[in-house]
Amino acid sequence: MRPGRIPPVTPAELSLRILDIVTAVVARRGGEVSLGPDDVRLERPKNREHGDWASNIAMKLAKPLGVNPRELATELAEGISALDGVASVDVAGPGFINVTLDAAAAGELARSIVEQGESYGRSEALRGQVINLEFVSANPTGPLHIGHTRWAALGDSIGRVLRAAGAQVANEFYINDAGSQMDKFGASILAAAKGEPMPEGGYPGLYIADLAKVVLEREPRLLQLDDDAALAAARELGYEQQLAEVRESLARFNVEFDVWFSERELHAGDPSAIDTAVERLREQGHVFDEDDAIWVRTTDFGDDKDRVIRRGNGVYTYFAADAAYYLSKTDRGFDHKIYLLGADHHGYVHRIKAIAGAAGDDPERDVEVLIGQLVSINGAKLSKRAGNIIELDDLQAWLGTDALRYSLGRYPADSPLTLDPEVLQRRTNDNPVFYVQYAHARTHQVAKNAAASGVDRSVFDAGLLDHETESVLLGVLAEFPRIVRQSAELREPHRVARYAEELAGAFHRWYDNCRVTPLGDEEIADVHRTRLWLNDASGQVLRNALDLLGVSAPERM
């Protein structure tokens, strides 16, 4: 007989129920404390004897209410113990409230996860936010290097967790395809095509010779053209080929961009977007003229000095292009802009925020600039093609996409990082990506063995999931939606990676203690069928977590 359905008690749901109780107690005591869902935070106790969830809300409110924290905790515990799905409530120490759930209420989560599938963990927490997320934005004058690799992994994962939390996000790559560096790039290719020495300030590396071969194939008359036409052809054809290679490298790295924005668009037209940007900033009252130049009073917004936007000779500065680009994002409907920049761009933070302020936006609300730190990999060799960099393509071929994506996403962006390739290539538990992927593969093997033994999901009795390791595993599974939301709000996808490792550990310990398939002549029972639900729920959440990191979830290892 199929047991009746019991609503699962998740930490989010429990927090809301406790909030109602806290709000009522505060009102009864005449308090004027304003409370919201985030004020009642539940944590899983390190000691399982202390229950499934713990809250310190009584200690937080004791002083504002002028009451002893244990006395307040005891009063709250009486109300919490009456909630459906709560088995017991204890008050510990100076006023901690420890909650133990009924096994059936806790176990119901397994069925809920399986039924929700890929949507489990997703929320509407950031619904209504329209975000432009710019990252990588490498010059199209050479291959992507090790620094771009980190920003690609982090930026893409940030976009994934933001979408999972309900935000509307566009990943954007800003193509720096205007300016003198493009002419130097074209001159380098042309020199290689002619067999001449590299021009001063040109781009070294065998990849330039490779690009020259492509250019000659596409324009066989290159060497017969006059100098200006030859330079233009080398520059444009080389640019197209190099940008195509950048796109292919990122696609192989599981990184997709919604927008590829060319800097040239800002210079096109009469008036250009840059011309218009100057006038738009002037309308906001932050532009002034001095010494024949046009300035933006960026010191009004915390910049260390005012910025020239157009020099006295009529030439626009890089600041002008940055301003026009920022305004274009606003014009395209992005209320919030996130820039992920390299470690050498600290000075850019004030500049971007000053542009936001000068454009009439709130620099503290409408724009974020995240600075990533350097990454190194022990034993990584400089590219044979580029000569002076470590290429993304070489790293990917050496270590694999999954190992790179997971390892780079496992740490905060602002922490310097050195990776050990020996660890990343091991098929052992001290390799974090192997540890998590192996847990997922194990869930698949358990399901396969269950099917072969005749165990199916025809019955679910949540009350049968009463082993200590099942309680722990269910507690970890219940945390996933909170982890995803927190990762999105803080722009910290490494929290998902650390969570995945915790979940893998909880699953492995459960696997060692609880069987899904019967032993020997043991008959198939409802506990086996119910455990299959828990196994499949664990596999689903591991897949969902790995997907947020751009990492595959193999079925066999």
Domain-terminating residue out of 252, 281, 303: 252
Same domain, 76 and 184: no
Is 356 a domain residue?
A: no
Instruction: Give the pLDDT mean for 214-226.
Output: 97
Confidence tier at 5 by pLDDT (50, 70, 90):
low
Same domain, 544 and 455: yes
Closest CA to 485 of 113, 35, 38, 40: 38
Q: How many domains does the chain have?
A: 3
Q: What is the CATH number of the domain that holds 47?
A: 3.30.1360.70
Percent of the chain clearing pLDDT 70 (strictly above)? 99
Confidence tier at 483 by pLDDT (50, 70, 90):
very high
CA–CA dist 445, 98 (Å, integer): 36
Is 495 a domain residue?
A: yes
Is 452 a domain residue?
A: yes
Confidence tier at 513 by pLDDT (50, 70, 90):
very high
Contact 350, 340 (CB under 8 A): no
Same domain, 97 and 187: no
Q: Which domain holds residue 213?
A: 180-252
Same domain, 438 and 538: yes
Tokens 């720096």 label which residue? 176
Is 406 a domain residue?
A: no
pLDDT tens, 114-153?
999 999 999 999 999 999 999 999 999 999 999 999 999 9
Domain-terminating residue out of 198, 217, 252: 252
CA–CA dist 419, 409 (Å, integer): 12
Q: What is the CATH number of the domain that holds 431?
A: 1.10.730.10
pLDDT tens, 223-276?
999 999 999 999 999 999 999 999 999 999 999 999 999 999 999 999 999 999
Cβ-Cβ contacts under 8 Å for 242 (sequence gap 6 or more): 140, 141, 142, 143, 211
CA–CA dist 263, 325 (Å, integer): 8
Closest CA to 310 of 281, 285, 350: 281
Name the residue type at position 254: N
Sign, Cα dihedral of 28, 29, 34, 37: negative
Is 168 a domain residue?
A: no
Does residue 418 sit in helix, strand or coil?
strand
Q: How many residues does the chain have?
A: 557
CA–CA dist 156, 153 (Å, integer): 5
Query: What pLDDT is recorded for position 3?
Result: 47
CA–CA dist 331, 132 (Å, integer): 12
Contact 296, 354 (CB under 8 A): yes
Is 209 a domain residue?
A: yes
Structure tokens at 339: 């820039």
Is 513 a domain residue?
A: yes
Same domain, 88 and 188: no
Domain-terminating residue out of 233, 252, 271: 252
Is 334 a domain residue?
A: no
Same domain, 80 and 187: no
Does residue 376 sit in helix, strand or coil?
strand
Closest CA to 255 of 150, 332, 336: 150
Phi, psi of 500 (to 5 degrees): -60, -35
Pairing between strand 168-175 and 130-134? parallel
A 10 A CB-CB count for 224 gives 9
Position 220 pLDDT exceeds 70: yes
Q: Within 342-467, where are the H helices?
A: 348-358, 392-399, 401-409, 421-424, 432-453
pLDDT tens, 493-509?
999 999 999 999 999 99
